[in-house]
Structure 1
Amino acid sequence: MKKAFITIQLTIVFILGVFSIKAQEKKVNIIPFPVLATNPTVGFAFGVSPGFTWHMGDLQNTSMSSVVASLVYTTNQQFLFSARGNTFLEGDKWNIMADLRYQITSQPTYGLGTGSGSIHPLVNNDYGYSERHYLRKHQMMEYDLIRAYITTLRKHEDTRFFYGLGYHLDVIYNIDDNLLNLDTIPQQVTQHYRYNKLKNFSAKGNTVSGVSLNLMYDSRDNVANPYSGRYAFASWRVNPKLIGSTQNSSTLWLEYRDYFNLSKERPRHLIGIWTYGWFVTSGNLPYMNLPAIGWDMFSRSGRAYTSGRFRGEDLIYTEVEYRFPLQANSDLLGGVIFANTTTASSRTENVDLFQNVNLAYGLGLRVMINKKSRSNVNLDYGWATNGSQGLFISLNEVF
């Protein structure tokens, strides 16, 4: 593991070094953002999360490209690397979306579906036992993740509609399901183990490899910090065994964002809405690949919760945020008030979508560190009705 860690570090340094050279050639704005944060997923985290913004063509007809990278170590002994963003080629003729991650990480899981505690009883009849019992409130898991998503979209004529194909790979391996104990009587069976056993997946690791058909509408004036416009994205992904998936499956992602200005003089004064639905449409996915909050492209959904706090075969997430300037004649400082809701199903536990809805809310501070690109540093604190809370620090607006 130590050799792999060093190899990954050297690879990351090489990639960032090459990118820095290209950045200078393309006049890229680089924000060397340090990470000092705490939230329920990572404990205390420290590292760097540089942001990159640039234009690949004429500013009049080419949208700003934006990438956020991250290299972080946490007190939960997690090593997290990611590079995620959008690149618009000249004239916006093409848009390339990328989500690349390597993680040695951990997170608690709470069962499937939303509701009171989101932890459901385990029926040991599945394993030859007659009694019914409950496991603890959460079930900690350690695992490694490799993710490589690349989506290429072509603009349709002189419109803001795009269409294209993508490839998506998730490899989750070296799973250590901390509370699983099959040597006791009765066995202590976790939600992760039970679900994967019922669906014929390995409890140690699985692969999801798929291709996608994608449609997008994007009229936002700025991808890092929109003041106006709207965004809609639909992606149907097919994950066949033929190209490496553990089992055949398919999923559907539907997303919408909109921005409503409240002042012509201060465009930063607005209400933003964000909603997405994520559904398993055929076959089965491994437990850790099921739709879950915090597993969107930029890991922004579910402020107040640990990543993956709600998970299920179907999930719908909605967030509303009120954004406002804090200075009369400057956009340096801003504030936000937000609220989000999550509902998730569990077909294995007979929990329907919308049967239960979980609520969270919070407030935050924004510091605009690059006026040209509108790049913000975000400091948010969220509370949830189930008692979860945390501080979340990020670069660029949440949505």
Structure 2
Amino acid sequence: MMRQTHFSLLMLSTLLMTPPLYAAQWVDSLLEDLGSSETVDESKLIDWGVLPGPFYNPEMGVGIGAAAIGLYRVDKQDRDTQYSTLSFTGFASSTGAFGVGFENNTFLQQDAWRLFLKGAVKNVPTSFWGIGYAAGSQDSNKREYTAKALELTPELAYQVAPDLYAALGGSLVRLSTESDEPLFTALPGGERNQSIGVSARLSYDSRDFLPNPYRGQVASVKYTRYLPALGSDADFSTVEARYSYYWQLSARTILASEVYGYFTHGDVPWNQLAQLGSDKRMRGYYEGQYTDRNLLTTQLELRQQLSGRHGVALWVGAGTVTAHARELLGAEAHWLPNAGVGYRFAFKPRVNIRLDWGVGRNTSGFYFQVNEAF
């Protein structure tokens, strides 16, 4: 009787385990067909992979996204320089939002030169509360509009000393809004505006791999000047500052930290002001709900690799926007909390697909993205 019971339990456990095992094998097979791998095939010009996934965030509701990810080396003989990356993304959501984007990081001549290129075209039904923390705190200020935007930011960097880079670049932002609200005609920049500028950046960057650092640090300051002589509708400037540090606590555990600031000066169009909330910082907040001339955020994230190519991430953070930079660390600043949890899947070596759930004050959002947030 005891032997029969053991046999029955064994059969039951086998039956219960078979569907999950079969499902896991089926998923692994599907991902391999889409280009997922634990190694980079350097016989190819670019080793590509494609992956679809869901998302939800406060701006766009429920949606589906897709990402194509490529890794390559410009010089196949250079084994020391990190892989160059090229990614294309696309999305569509329940609110009628859609868009496509790309990001390219190319490392040349043993990392003496770096070429960065990022762009996006999108049509997004979204909302705006006004300028200032007080405006964003009142739901009655919420105004709906549709943003049609084009963004392009090229940059070329040269290594002037070990891990120290000087860069020149540009910025093009073109916005057209559709709304029945008279608010947008009265805002700086109006319903339609174009911003074209040139930029200079100085950065110390010792990260071992930009899309997913295990160790190192980056400290950078970027100044961008938008001028009518270049085709910009307004004359203004922005300063973007960032410091991040990465600790490899163990072979499977990374602790990442970041302090980020964005500051504006001059006749700044409303869509070029500092906006709190994105898929990189203050995840879960409605991008643009809290808008002002200056922004400061900070975050600390623990990244833990689990079995195989799976991992999790936990983070906490805070951020604020103010009219004057001196108020960011003063009593006038209203700091907003942020926390979240994420799932990681190593689709390619050191290239993660991330599914993040971010929570803020009376808000939350779910993000599907390629590479780590910072």
TM-score between the two structures when normalised by the length of structure 1: 0.77
Q: Distance in 1 between matches of 2:43 and 2:125?
A: 38
Q: Distance in 1 between matches of 2:233 and 2:302?
A: 43
Q: Does the Cα contact within 8 Å between 1:303 and 1:360 map onto a contact in 2? A: yes
Decide whether aligned partners of structure 1 residues 35 and 351 sit closer, same or farther in structure 2, where only a CA change above 3 A counts.
farther
- Give the aligned partner of residue 301 of structure 1: 281
From 334, 337, 342, the counterpart of 2:319: 342
Instruction: Report how many residues are paired.
Output: 330
- Give the aligned partner of residue 270 of structure 2: 287
Q: Distance in 2 between matches of 1:104 and 1:243?
A: 25
Q: Distance in 2 between matches of 1:302 and 1:68?
A: 23
Q: Which one-letter code corresponds to 1:383 in the other structure?
A: V
Q: Which one-letter code corresponds to 1:343 in the other structure?
A: T
Residue 177 (str. 1) matches residue 179 (str. 2): yes
Q: Distance in 1 between matches of 2:42 and 2:208?
A: 24
Residue 66 (str. 1) matches residue 85 (str. 2): yes
From 30, 48, 52, the counterpart of 1:30: 48
Residue 326 (str. 1) matches residue 306 (str. 2): yes
Q: Distance in 1 between matches of 2:334 and 2:71?
A: 40
Post-superposition CA distance 1:192-216 (Å, at most 9, x none)? 55442xxxx3x22011110011112
Q: Distance in 1 between matches of 2:86 and 2:127?
A: 28
Post-superposition CA distance 1:10-37 (Å, at most 9, x none)? xxxxxxxxxxxxx998532212011322
Post-superposition CA distance 1:120-142 (Å, at most 9, x none)? 7xxxxxxxxxxxxxx72522221
Residue 271 (str. 1) matches residue 249 (str. 2): no
Post-superposition CA distance 1:257-315 (Å, at most 9, x none)? 1111222xx1x3121012211101x31211111121356xxx52221112223221011
Decide whether aligned partners of structure 1 residues 232 and 26 sit closer, same or farther in structure 2, where only a CA change above 3 A counts.
farther
Residue 398 (str. 1) matches residue 373 (str. 2): yes
Q: Which one-letter code corresponds to 2:163 in the other structure?
A: R
Q: Which one-letter code corresponds to 1:311 in the other structure?
A: T
User: By how many angstroms is 1:337 displaced?
Assistant: 0.8
CA radius of gyration, larger in: 2
Residue 244 (str. 1) matches residue 231 (str. 2): yes
Q: Does the Cα contact within 8 Å between 2:353 and 2:371 map onto a contact in 1? A: yes
User: By how many angstroms is 1:346 displaced?
Assistant: 2.9
Residue 91 (str. 1) matches residue 92 (str. 2): no
From 127, 145, 152, the counterpart of 1:141: 145
Q: Distance in 2 between matches of 1:396 and 1:340?
A: 19
User: By how many angstroms is 1:232 displaced?
Assistant: 2.0
Q: Structure 2 stretches of 5 or more lacking a match?
A: 1-40
Residue 231 (str. 1) matches residue 209 (str. 2): no
Q: Does the Cα contact within 8 Å between 2:59 and 2:286 map onto a contact in 1? A: yes
Q: Does the Cα contact within 8 Å between 2:65 and 2:368 map onto a contact in 1? A: no
Residue 43 (str. 1) matches residue 46 (str. 2): no
Q: Which one-letter code corresponds to 2:131 in the other structure?
A: L
- Give the aligned partner of residue 379 of structure 1: 355
Decide whether aligned partners of structure 1 residues 76 and 31 sit closer, same or farther in structure 2, where only a CA change above 3 A counts.
same
> Pairwise CA RMSD of aligned residues?
2.3
- Which SS does the other structure have where 1:236 is aligned? strand
User: By how many angstroms is 1:325 displaced?
Assistant: 2.4
Identity of counterpart residues, as a percentage? 22
Q: Which one-letter code corresponds to 2:366 in the other structure?
A: L
Q: Which one-letter code corresponds to 1:177 in the other structure?
A: S
User: By how many angstroms is 1:61 displaced?
Assistant: 3.2
Q: Which one-letter code corresponds to 2:207 in the other structure?
A: R
Post-superposition CA distance 1:51-90 (Å, at most 9, x none)? 1222222443322212221122221111211112311113
- Deviating 4+ runs (over 4 angstroms): 23-26
Q: Does the Cα contact within 8 Å between 1:112 and 1:344 map onto a contact in 2? A: no
- Which SS does the other structure have where 1:288 is aligned? helix
Q: Does the Cα contact within 8 Å between 2:116 and 2:156 map onto a contact in 1? A: yes
Q: Does the Cα contact within 8 Å between 1:113 and 1:351 map onto a contact in 2? A: no
Q: Distance in 1 between matches of 2:88 and 2:211?
A: 14
